[in-house]
Amino acid sequence: MKEILYNYDNLSKEQIDETIIRTKAVIVNNNKDIILGYSHKTFQFPGGHLEDGETLEECLIREIKEEAGINVIKENCTLFEKITYFNKNYHNSGKNRCNEIYYFIVKTNENFDNNELKLTVQEKEGNFKVVAIPLKNIEQVLIKSIPDNPINEIIVEEMLDIIKEYKKIASK
């Protein structure tokens, strides 16, 4: 598994006040489409926060069901990258935060179902929907979305890095 640490504030582990763990899925269907969520003019890999008592895989499977309406099994989920961010005074909270994001490759022959989603209020307000984008077009679609929302500059950069790593693994 590849691991990347972003620590622009040069924080030590001892300076971290809280750690948040998330899982995200690069879902690939039989047509070699990447399944993404789209909300607030931003593409995202399906995923979310680890809940108390959950394993990474349980979190991932739950989030994929909630955000893509797809049932997956643990055997179809492969952990391939971990990105960690150390953030000083995270969102002006006064706390230094460690955000750990675990990325999985998820292969499925199941179709997503926008009618089966269990969305948060924020996702509903952003007109959340699930989309399938051909792998061969994914970088172009993501880059084209950058001007749609200021946060896309950050999100798209990370997503492109993840897609690049996925393609390396998939070509082996």
User: Cα separation of 69 and 114, whole Å?
Assistant: 7
Q: DSSP character for 31? A: T
Q: Encoding tokens for residue 74?
A: 């643990």
* Topology of domain 2-170, CATH: Nucleoside Triphosphate Pyrophosphohydrolase (3.90.79)
Q: What are the backbone dihedrals phi and psi of residue 144, each rounded to the nearest 5 degrees, phi first?
A: -65, -25
31-70 burial, b at 16+ Cβ within 10 Å, e below that, comes to eebbbbbbbeebbbbbbbebeeebebbebbbbbbbbbbbb
Give residue-wise pLDDT tens across range 121-171.
Answer: 888 888 889 999 999 999 999 999 999 999 999 999 999 999 999 999 988
Please provide the distance, in angstroms rounded to a whole number, between the alpha carbons at the two ends of the chain: 15
Q: What share of the chain has pLDDT > 70, as a percent?
A: 100
Do 49 and 21 contact (CB within 8 A), yes or no?
yes
pLDDT of residue 120: 82
Instruction: Look at residue 50 and tell me whether its pLDDT is greater than 90.
Output: yes
Question: What SS3 state is found at 55?
Answer: coil
pLDDT at 21 over 90: yes
Please state, for a pLDDT cut of 90, what percent of the chain lies above it: 85
Query: Encoding tokens for residue 38?
Result: 């789209």
- Band the pLDDT of 110: cuts 50, 70, 90: confident
Domain coordinates of the chain in residue numbers? 2-170
Nearest CA-CA partner of 26 in 132, 127, 118: 132
- In the chain, DSSP assigns E strands to 2-6, 18-28, 33-39, 42-44, 47-49, 77-87, 97-107, 129-134
Helix (H), strand (E) at residue 36: strand 33-39
Q: What is the CB-side half-sphere exposure of residue 3 using CA atoms within 13 A?
A: 4
